[in-house]
Amino acid sequence: MDLKNLSHFVDIVDIGSVQAAARQLGVSRSVLRRGLEELECVMGARLLHRDPSGVRLTAAGAIALERGRPLVESARALLREVQVADQEPRGLLRVILPVGMPLALAVDTLLAGREAMPNQQIVLRHSEDPLADVHQPFELMLHEGPPPDRNHWFSRVLMHISMRPLASAGYLARKGRPMCVEELGDHDILGWQRPGLPAETWPLRAGGSIEVRPWFSSSDPQLLAALAAQGGGIFLAPSLPFFREDSDGALVGVLEDQVGTEFAFRATTPFPARADPRTRNTVAHIMAQLEGLSQV
C-alpha torsion sign, points 239, 244, 247, 250: positive
- Predicted pLDDT at 167: 93
pLDDT surpassing 50 at residue 160 = yes
Q: Where are the domains of the chain?
A: 3-84, 90-296
- Predicted pLDDT at 225: 87
- Predicted pLDDT at 145: 79
Please state, in angstroms and rounded to a whole number, the distance separating the CA atoms of residues 155 and 141. Answer: 9
CATH topology of domain 90-296: D-Maltodextrin-Binding Protein; domain 2 (3.40.190)
Q: Tell how far CA 247 is from the center of its chain.
A: 30
- Predicted pLDDT at 295: 55
Architecture of domain 3-84: Orthogonal Bundle (1.10)
pLDDT surpassing 60 at residue 244 = no
Strand-strand pairing, 153-168 and 261-270: antiparallel
pLDDT surpassing 80 at residue 240 = no
